[in-house]
């Protein structure tokens, strides 16, 4: 009992001292950057490396430069477990002081997207979310740099056709997709392209409940004998598809995934058998890039944060770093333009609308070769950077193509039509008429 | 002392039939209603509305729907979420086919679709009972969610396959959609929940409720005293599904704002079943107590470390939270297997006998 009393005393003392310490840290200028992370739940395996990368880049900036222009970055995770309900809880909890919303799931994005016009907080959904979000005049508060799913789909088509889409005439392309808003995203574009270029397109959905057992879907693929299988998969679906493809002896180099289907952890489960599998990606892991070495030096070696073994070289970890870089560059741009240290969400929106990742900037950031140059404007919230094909060599992903860019002329009309449709269904929907681009 | 019933004489049959024959019960209810209608809305923040008040009310209503079926009529169901989904999709179709329709009317109409489907899936209950019936309702659960995914007409051929709630106005104020203020949504939900709760209390006390209870306790005996089992069971399915459907429409329209088919997955059914079981089967009050424990407590627990100035990593906090809630569920079920409502019933009994409780 006396021992317990002592513990209680120490505990109380600690509580008091930390409570006293808080006002001091609040008084300092800081930028609050919440992240609706998922380190638990069915998709945790893919979430953890991404969140680690995001967290560590910001920790590195705080340690190396003391934040951004002298303002500390307060990165804060709110755990959602990829659950929409928890996501909304997190959004409501953080929105009063949040500079940005990073929803991290298409479901949560769909929930917060209509609220963005009311709450006026930019949504940053790099490489995911709703493809028409790129249409900045209609989706004023949503950003999906550096490329949308439709860009990704177009890049893949360009790659398999060798640059000339008409050469796909008569071929058969199967899309194996998660039966959720995310997986259905590219279907309108593929259907459109199939009509235009004369290939056969077939979508095979994988229900969330059947992610780990896709034998029925692969039986259908075997029967259909497609020339290519494309995949929009997530979480356990990726590993499930890879092992089924190995089992059915599908030629791995004709099996291509979107950027979220190129996770080292998923492919490790099939290892050598998955050799040849490809995935389009707007990011390339370059472990000896200066920015990565700085993270190693200031964060990992300094034991500020710890990550799993080998995670440092993963595609997803380094992609997380780039995602935080989009955000901090947006903040920096806004700080310079408005000549302010602590910026508001409205100012950050301007910053994200004027991102300029040109060759020189990328080099200065120490991310040379990790990402292709792109630029956002008030009309274009994605930037539409190019991507590369990454190929699994049995133990890691390696770059296997030159820079591919999306066929924007084919995508823009569709993007505008769908964005208008969305605004129409959600009347009254304010649009940005000041933007004259 | 607080609950002394001595001296409260009933001098007429009406007084004896009253919903709350004990004066203190009526007073307590009055205080709760005062909080719900005045004090909470005046003091709550957006966060409190969106994560505590509105969801607790909606989950209570869903659980009430299940409780009418399982707690009163004794028919075990694992398909509540699917019936909620039917309500939500029906409301979505009604509001998009007839834009400008009053949302209350749309909600009231939307309830009839799950009621009809509830009757269809209730038919097996005439032949099977208990766990076997649970499997039949589970079939409804899987079939309906599959239908929400495949039948593109239901979501207006939207590419994402999800439904988005449009901005809906009532008397010039936005009640649903992103433009709606939390406080209007809260009052809307509160009104519907109060109305249905009042209706349910009366229905369970009256003839229909007694028929259901007779069927629950022993169906053969009930049949022998002249109760039409088919009518009793199917009416339970219909009314329960109606309530669940309305709660599903509220769930999407007044709270979530968007829904994908997976939202109405079996997990949601289980969650509602937990609320009903922990709150207490065969009670109205229990649904509200259960919803507070299952829905609101985790949100509150997430705040506690912050209040004391501890910073715990969000993922760790989530794990701790799950463990605490799990432990509490087990604790409450050991202390009182009949649920929180029964726990309150015992406490009330003791208060009435105070200072000599036994």
Token digits of residue A144: 């999906």
Helix axes B207-217, B182-205, angle to 10 degrees: 70
Q: Domain containing B296: what range?
A: 48-353
End-to-end CA, chain B = 15
Class of domain A150-281+389-408: alpha beta
Kindly identify which residue of chain A lies nearest to residue B163, measuring between CA atoms: A110
What local confidence, expressed as pLDDT, does residue A371 receive?
Answer: 92
Between residues B177 and A368, which one has the greater pLDDT?
A: A368
Closest to A185 (Cα-Cα) out of A234, A232, A126: A232
Q: Which of B248, B220, B231, B188 is nearest to B66 (CA)?
A: B248
What is the pLDDT at residue A274?
Answer: 87
Long-range contacts of B263-266 (CB under 8 A, 24+ apart): B263/A84, B263/B85, B264/B81, B264/B82, B264/B84, B264/B85, B264/B88, B264/B144, B264/B145, B264/B148, B265/A208, B265/B81, B265/B145, B266/B78, B266/B81, B266/B138, B266/B141, B266/B142, B266/B145
> Is residue A359 predicted with pLDDT exceeding 60?
yes
The count of structural domains within chain B is 1
Under 8 Å CB pairs connecting chains A and B tally to 103
Compute the distance between CA of residue A219 and CA of residue B237 in angstroms, rounded to an integer: 40
Q: Which residues of A touch B166 (CB under 8 A)?
A: 425-427
User: Above 50 in pLDDT, residue A11?
Assistant: no
Q: What residues in A contact B265, CB-CB < 8 Å?
A: 208
Q: What is the mean pLDDT of residues A176-193?
A: 89
Test A18 with B315 for CB contact under 8 angstroms: no
Tell me, yes or no, whether B14 lies in a domain.
no
pLDDT tens readout for residues B89-110? 999 999 989 888 899 999 999 9
Residues 78-107 of A with CB under 8 A from B: 78-79, 81, 84-85, 88-89, 92-93, 95-96, 106-107
Which residues of chain A have a CB within 8 Å of the CB of B167? 426-428
Per-residue pLDDT at A13 exceeds 70 = no
What pLDDT, in 10s, does the model give residues B144-187?
999 998 888 988 887 777 888 888 888 888 888 888 888 999 99
Q: Which 8-67 residues of chain A touch chain B by CB within 8 A?
A: 15, 18-19, 21-22, 37, 39-40
Which are the contacts of B97, defined by CB distance < 8 A and separation ≥ 6? none
Best mutation target among A55, A87, A92 (most B Cβ atoms within 10 Å) is A92
CA distance B166 to chain A (A): 5
- Token pair for residue B279? 């709150």
Any idea which residue has 């595609």 for tokens? A315
Answer whether B147's CB lies under 8 Å from B255's CB: no
Task: Give the C-alpha separation, A161 to B35, whole Å.
Answer: 66
- In 10 A of CB A362, how many CB atoms? 21
Confirm or reject contact between B149 and chain A (CB < 8 A).
yes
> Chain B closest CA to A109's CA: distance in Å?
10
- Residue B185's CATH number: 1.10.3470
Cα–Cα dist A241/A213, whole Å: 8
Question: CA–CA separation, A48 vs A244, rounded Å?
Answer: 25
Mutate to test the interface with A, among B161, B174, B296 (most CBs of A within 10 A): B161
Contacts of B149 in chain A (CB under 8 A): 179, 205, 207
- Check if B100 contacts A (Cβ < 8 Å): no
pLDDT for position B196: 96
Q: Does B161 touch chain A (CB under 8 A)?
A: yes
Task: Flag whether pLDDT at A12 surpasses 70.
Answer: no
SS3 label, residue B47: helix
pLDDT (0 to 100) of residue B171:
87
**Inter-chain contact B51–A93, Cβ cutoff 8 Å?**
yes
Burial level of B108, CB count in 10 A (0-12/13-18/19+)? middle
Largest Cα–Cα distance of chain A, in whole Å? 82
Could you give the residue range(s) of every CATH 3.40.50.2300 domain in chain A?
Answer: 10-147+285-377, 150-281+389-408
Would you say residue A322 has pLDDT above 90? yes
Q: Could you tell me which of B25, B31, B33, B294 has the C-alpha nearest to residue B187?
A: B33
> B-chain residues within 8 Å CB-CB of A106?
160
- Put residue A389 in one of left, alpha, beta given phi > 0 → left and psi -120 to 50 → alpha: beta
Between chains, do A426 and B257 touch, taking CB under 8 Å as contact? no
Specify the 3-state DSSP secondary structure of B102: coil
Any A CB within 8 A of B256 CB? yes
- State yes or no: pLDDT of B53 exceeds 80: yes
Q: Which pLDDT score, from 0 to 100, does residue A208 have?
A: 80
CATH class given for the domain over A10-147+285-377: alpha beta
Q: Is the pLDDT of residue B47 over 60?
A: yes
**B258 to chain A, closest Cα gap in Å:** 6
pLDDT at residue number A4: 44
A428 CB burial (10 A radius; 0-12, 13-18, 19+): exposed
Check CB contact under 8 Å for B167 and A187.
no
What confidence score (pLDDT) does residue A22 get? Answer: 42
Cβ-defined contact of A110 to B263 (cutoff 8 Å): no
Asked whether residue B234 is assigned to any structural domain, the reply reads yes
User: What stretches of chain B show up as alpha helix (H) in DSSP?
Assistant: 13-17, 23-34, 40-43, 46-48, 54-67, 80-97, 103-110, 112-122, 130-150, 182-205, 207-217, 219-224, 229-250, 266-279, 285-291, 297-307, 314-335, 340-353
Q: Which residues contact B224 (CB under 8 A, 6 or more apart)?
A: none
Q: Smallest Cβ distance to A110: which of B55, B160, B262? A: B160
In the Cβ-directed half-sphere of A38, how many Cα atoms lie within 13 Å? 21
Inter-chain touch B260–A107, beta carbons under 8 Å: yes
Residue of A nearest to B99 (CA): A425
- CA-based nearest distance B257→chain A, Å: 6
* 3-class SS of residue A226: coil
Which range is most confident: A12-26, B42-56, B110-124? B110-124
- Residue A151: per-residue pLDDT: 92
How far apart CA B36 and CA A126 sit, in angstroms, is 41
Contacts of residue A126, defined as CB under 8 A and 6 or more positions apart, other chains included, come to A143, A144, A145, A146, A322, A323, A326
State the Cα–Cα distance between residues B148 and B248, nearest whole angstrom.
14
Residue B23 in any domain: the answer is no
The pLDDT value given to residue B1: 64
Query: Could you tell me the pLDDT band of residue A111, with boundaries at 50, 70 and 90?
Result: confident
Query: Do residue B258 and residue A77 have CB atoms under 8 angstroms apart?
Result: no
Tokens read off for A325: 């870089």
pLDDT, averaged across chain A? 86
Structure confidence by residue, pLDDT tens digits, A236-280:
888 889 989 988 889 998 999 999 998 988 888 887 888 899 999
Residue contact B314–A114, C-beta within 8 A: no
Q: How far apart are CA A120 and CA A418, in angstroms?
A: 22
A428:B299 CB<8 A: no
Whole-angstrom CA distances from B254 to A91, B36, B189, B259 are 17, 17, 7, 12
Q: What is the mean pLDDT of residues A403-426?
A: 87
pLDDT reported for residue B22 = 83
CB–CB contact B159 A185 (8 Å): yes
Which one of A19, A36, A103, A114 makes the best mutation probe of the B interface by having the most chain B beta carbons within 10 Å? Answer: A114
Taking residue B3's Cβ as centre, other Cβ atoms within 10 Å add up to: 17
Among A96, A130, A184, whose Cβ lies nearest the Cβ of B161? A184
**Yes or no, beta carbons of A181 and B260 under 8 Å apart:** yes
User: Phi and psi of A280, rounded to 5°?
Assistant: -75, 145
User: Are the beta carbons of A186 and A149 closer than 8 angstroms?
Assistant: yes
Chain segment A376-403, per-residue pLDDT in tens = 998 899 888 889 999 998 888 999 999 9
> What pLDDT is recorded for position B11?
87
Residue A21 in this model has a pLDDT that exceeds 50? no
Count of other CB atoms within 10 angstroms of residue B329: 16
Helices (H) and strands (E) in chain A, counts: 16, 13
| Rounded CA separation A28/B12 (Å) | 70
Give yes or no for residue A194 having a pLDDT over 90. yes
- Asked if the model's pLDDT at residue A337 lies above 90, the reply is yes
Closest-CA residue of chain B to A38: B315
Residue B29 located in a structural domain = no
Asked if residues A41 and A83 have their Cβ atoms less than 8 Å apart, the reply is yes
Instruction: Give the confidence band of A23 by pLDDT, cuts at 50, 70, 90.
Output: very low
A426:B166 CB<8 A? yes
Tell me which chain B residue has its CA closest to the CA of residue A189: B159
Q: Is residue B36 part of a domain?
A: no
| Residues of chain A contacting residue B160, judged by C-beta atoms under 8 Å apart | 106, 110, 130, 181, 184-185
């Amino acid at each position: 009992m006396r021992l317990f009393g002592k513990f209680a005393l120490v505990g109380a003392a600690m509580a008091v001292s930390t409570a006293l310490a808080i006002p001091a840290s609040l008084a300092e200028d800081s930028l609050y950057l919440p992240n609706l992370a998922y380190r638990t739940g069915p998709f945790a395996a893919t979430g953890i490396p991404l969140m680690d990368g995001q967290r560590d880049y910001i920790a590195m900036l705080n340690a190396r430069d003391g934040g951004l222009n002298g303002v500390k970055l307060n990165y804060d995770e709110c755990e959602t477990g990829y659950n929409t309900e928890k996501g909304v809880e997190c959004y409501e909890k953080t929105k009063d002081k949040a500079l940005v919303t990073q929803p991290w799931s298409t479901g949560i994005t769909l929930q917060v997207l209509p609220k963005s016009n009311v709450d006026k907080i930019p949504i940053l959904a790099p490489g995911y979310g709703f493809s028409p979000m790129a249409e900045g005049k209609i989706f004023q508060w949503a950003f999906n740099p550096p490329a949308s799913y439709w860009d990704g789909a177009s890049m893949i088509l360009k790659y398999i056709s060798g640059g000339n889409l008409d050469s796909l005439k008569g071929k058969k392309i199967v899309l194996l997709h998660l039966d959720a808003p995310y997986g259905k995203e590219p279907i309108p574009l593929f259907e459109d392209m199939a009509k235009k270029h004369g290939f056969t397109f077939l979508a095979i959905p994988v229900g969330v409940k059947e992610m780990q057992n896709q034998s029925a879907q692969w039986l259908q693929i075997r029967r259909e004998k497609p020339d290519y299988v494309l995949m929009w998969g997530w979480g356990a679906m990726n590993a499930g598809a890879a092992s089924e493809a190995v089992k059915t002896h599908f030629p791995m180099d004709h099996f291509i995934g979107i950027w979220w289907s190129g996770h080292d952890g998923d492919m490790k489960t099939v290892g050598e058998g998955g050799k040849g599998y490809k995935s389009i990606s707007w990011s390339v892991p370059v472990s000896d890039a200066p920015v990565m070495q700085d993270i190693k030096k200031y964060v990992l070696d300094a034991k500020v944060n710890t990550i799993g073994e080998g995670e440092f070289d993963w595609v997803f970890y380094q992609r997380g770093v780039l995602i935080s870089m989009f955000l901090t560059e947006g903040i920096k741009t806004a700080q310079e333009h408005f000549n302010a240290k602590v910026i508001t969400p409205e100012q950050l929106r301007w910053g994200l609308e004027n991102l300029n990742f040109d060759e020189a900037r990328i080099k200065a950031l120490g991310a040379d070769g990790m990402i292709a140059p792109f630029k956002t404007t008030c009309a274009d919230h994605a930037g539409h950077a190019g991507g590369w094909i990454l190929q699994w060599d049995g133990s890691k992903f390696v770059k296997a193509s030159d820079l591919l860019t999306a066929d924007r002329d084919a995508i823009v009309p569709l993007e505008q039509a769908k964005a208008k449709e969305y605004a129409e269904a959600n009347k009254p929907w304010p649009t940005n008429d000041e933007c004259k681009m | 002392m607080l609950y002394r019933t001595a001296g409260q004489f009933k001098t007429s049959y009406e007084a004896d039939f009253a919903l709350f024959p004990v004066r203190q019960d009526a007073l307590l209810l009055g205080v709760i209603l005062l909080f719900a209608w005045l004090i909470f809305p005046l003091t709550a923040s957006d966060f409190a509305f969106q994560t505590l008040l509105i969801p607790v009310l909606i989950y209570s209503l869903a659980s009430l729907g299940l409780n009418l079926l399982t707690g009163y009529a004794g028919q075990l169901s694992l398909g509540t979420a699917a019936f909620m989904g039917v309500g939500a999709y029906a409301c979505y179709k009604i509001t998009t086919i007839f834009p400008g329709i009053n949302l209350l009317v749309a909600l009231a109409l939307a309830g009839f679709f799950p009621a009809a489907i509830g009757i269809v899936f209730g038919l097996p209950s005439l032949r099977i009972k208990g766990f076997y019936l649970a499997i039949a309702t589970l079939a409804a659960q899987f079939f309906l969610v599959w239908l929400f995914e495949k039948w593109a007409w239901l979501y207006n051929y939207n590419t994402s396959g999800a439904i988005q709630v449009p901005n809906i106005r009532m008397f010039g104020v936005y009640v649903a959609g992103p433009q709606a203020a939390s406080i209007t949504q809260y009052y809307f939900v509160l009104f519907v929940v109060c109305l249905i709760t009042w209706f349910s209390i009366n229905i369970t006390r009256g003839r229909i409720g007694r028929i259901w209870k007779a069927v629950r306790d022993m169906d053969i005996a009930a049949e022998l005293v002249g109760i039409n089992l088919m009518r009793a069971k199917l009416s339970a399915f219909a009314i329960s599904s109606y309530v669940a459907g309305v709660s599903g429409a509220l769930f999407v329209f007044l709270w979530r704002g968007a829904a994908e088919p997976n939202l109405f997955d079996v997990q949601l059914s289980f969650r509602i079943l937990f609320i009903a079981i922990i709150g207490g089967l065969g009670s109205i009050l229990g649904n509200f107590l259960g919803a507070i424990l299952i829905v609101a407590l985790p949100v509150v627990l997430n705040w506690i470390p912050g209040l004391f100035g501890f910073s715990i990593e969000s993922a760790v906090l989530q794990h701790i939270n799950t463990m605490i809630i799990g432990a509490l569920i087990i604790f409450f079920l050991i202390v009182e297997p009949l649920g929180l409502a029964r726990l309150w019933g015992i406490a009330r009994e003791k208060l009435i006998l105070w200072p000599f409780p036994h």
